[in-house]
């Protein structure tokens, strides 16, 4: 195979481990599949070495670098899925905003949106194929290089989460600038959320065309909204994304499972379970049994161990995992953390987590 063939999205190697895809569809699996949010991240020394001295978004724009970073955790741990290395903020960049990764500070927008007039600064028509082609190339290359070991997940930020970064200009404890828009400029907020939704739909479809086998939508800032604002400014767009992506894929005879992860949206769990996604991702504030009851077996669930439980000794990690598996049950369940791994976590603890999920779920399956 020549180098160029690796960026053509066809003739991908056959998938060997489909446990993640089957669990996403609610089917039985021999073991519960497991992956970790931020599994390609700074807790791995090889990740820090690859990233050393390189600009974050330049790395995101290099398909070869994204492929390498995506594959690194798979060389260490028997994860059942990989997530493409990228960032949610590539979407505001594609819409014409400048975003820089400032070491020690995180993502920064030098010129955030301040007032509704600033929407004029965004590109009127976003050529998703052209602007985000580097992500599509990274997905295609990785899909070839992963050699069918596990499925490759594509992702995006959800409209509200992206809107909040575009207005705040970076991370924020209160998101009060972005929430000010919701209360003061509801119409302009809906216009922005609608424009983000249009780009996101095209972006996700492009990721599937490039080779993504599942899609996760990160509504990381759901928890900053209350139930009323969530129903008004987040949920309709999450639904719209699932419906439009699924309709279009169906037209092409395709179907990929979609996961919605709305962090801290415990108030919206019932709504999320009816929002058109196969899987609902949960943060650690939800009890597994009650999450199953509240979602009525309609969707598969993903999550939700407290990431900080990885600071516990290995034996304790194993006990926590066992309890989590008993709570969720082993069918229609994908094990994960309730949020991303932190940079100071010990890779060995991540290995202990993955092994505990595989071991306990096989044992629990035998007891049924
Ligand atoms: O150089 C570095 O290592 C910087 C740290 C880092 C990494 C590893 C950032 C900066 N982004 C990423 C990669 C990334 N981001 C992935 C890919 C790989 C993987 O998960 O294994 C994914 C899925 C994301 C998604 C992402 N970026 C989210 C959603 C998930 C979540 O954490 O809730 C969010 C909110 C971001 C924004 C972002 N990017 C980076 C940081 C530090 C942040 C958070 C900033 C803040 O709000 O304070």
* Per-chain mean pLDDT for the chain: 97
Residue 294 confidence (pLDDT) above 80: yes
299 CB burial (10 A radius; 0-12, 13-18, 19+) = buried
Q: Residues with Cβ < 8 Å from 14, sequence gap 6 or more? A: 148
Q: What is the pLDDT of residues 71-87, one digit of tens each?
A: 999 999 999 999 999 99
Q: What's residue 5's pLDDT?
A: 81
Q: Which atom of ligand 1 is nearest to the CA of 37?
A: 20
How many degrees, rounded to 5, is the angle at CA 150 between CA 149 and CA 155? Answer: 140
Helix (H) or strand (E) holding 230: helix 227-233
With the most atoms of ligand 1 within 8 angstroms of its CB, the residue from 34, 87, 139 to mutate is 87
Per-residue pLDDT at 214: 98
Question: pLDDT tens-digit profile of 236-248?
Answer: 999 999 999 999 9
Query: Whole-angstrom distance between the N-terminal and C-terminal Cα of the chain?
Result: 46
**CATH architecture assigned to 23-367:** Alpha-Beta Barrel (3.20)
318 within ligand 1 shell (Cβ under 6 A): no
* pLDDT one-digit tens code per residue, 106-163: 999 999 999 999 999 999 999 999 999 999 999 999 999 999 999 999 999 999 999 9
Rg (C-alpha) for the chain, rounded Å, is: 20
Predicted confidence band of residue 1 (pLDDT cuts 50, 70, 90): low
Q: Is the pLDDT of residue 2 over 80?
A: no
Minimal-distance CA residue to ligand 1 atom 38: 107
Share of the chain above pLDDT 70, in %: 99
Is residue 70 within 8 Å of 82, Cβ to Cβ? yes
CA 123 to CA 102: how far, in whole Å? 24
Overall average pLDDT of the 248-256 stretch: 96
Which residues are marked as active site? 38, 42, 51, 87, 165
Residue with tokens 């249009």: 198
218 lines ligand 1 (CB under 6 A): yes
């Amino acid at each position: 195979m020549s180098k160029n063939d690796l960026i053509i999205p066809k003739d991908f190697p056959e998938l060997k481990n489909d446990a993640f895809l089957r669990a996403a569809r609610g089917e039985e699996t021999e073991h519960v599949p497991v992956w970790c949010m931020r599994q390609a991240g700074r807790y791995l020394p090889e990740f820090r070495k690859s990233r050393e001295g390189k600009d974050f978004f330049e790395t995101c724009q290099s398909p070869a670098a994204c492929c390498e970073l995506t594959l690194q955790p798979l060389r260490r741990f028997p994860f059942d899925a990989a997530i493409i290395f990228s960032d949610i903020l590539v979407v505001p960049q594609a819409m014409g905003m400048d975003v820089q990764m400032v070491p020690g500070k995180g993502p920064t927008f030098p010129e955030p949106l301040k007032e509704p007039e600033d929407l004029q600064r965004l590109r009127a028509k976003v050529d998703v194929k052209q602007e985000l082609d580097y992500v599509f190339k990274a997905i295609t290359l990785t899909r070839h290089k992963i050699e069918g070991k596990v499925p490759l997940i594509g992702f995006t930020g959800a409209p509200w989460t992206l809107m909040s970064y575009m207005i705040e200009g970076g991370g924020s404890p209160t998101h009060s600038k972005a929430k000010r828009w919701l209360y003061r400029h509801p119409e302009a907020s809906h216009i922005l959320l609608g424009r983000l939704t249009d780009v996101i739909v095209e972006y996700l479809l492009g990721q599937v065309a490039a080779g993504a086998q599942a899609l996760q939508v990160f509504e990381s800032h759901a928890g900053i909204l209350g139930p009323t604002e969530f129903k008004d400014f987040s949920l309709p767009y999450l639904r719209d994304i699932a419906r439009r992506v699924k309709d279009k894929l169906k037209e092409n005879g395709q179907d990929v499972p979609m996961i919605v992860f709305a962090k801290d949206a415990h108030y919206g769990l019932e709504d999320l379970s009816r929002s058109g996604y196969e899987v609902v991702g949960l943060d650690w504030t939800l009890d597994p049994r009650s999450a199953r009851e509240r979602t009525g077996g309609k969707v598969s669930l993903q999550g939700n161990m407290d990431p900080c439980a990885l600071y516990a000794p290995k034996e304790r990690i194993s006990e926590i995992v066992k309890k989590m598996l008993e709570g969720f049950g082993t069918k229609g369940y994908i094990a994960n953390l309730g949020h991303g791994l932190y940079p100071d976590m010990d890779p060995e603890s991540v290995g202990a987590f993955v092994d505990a999920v595989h071991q306990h779920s096989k044992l629990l399956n035998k007891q049924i």
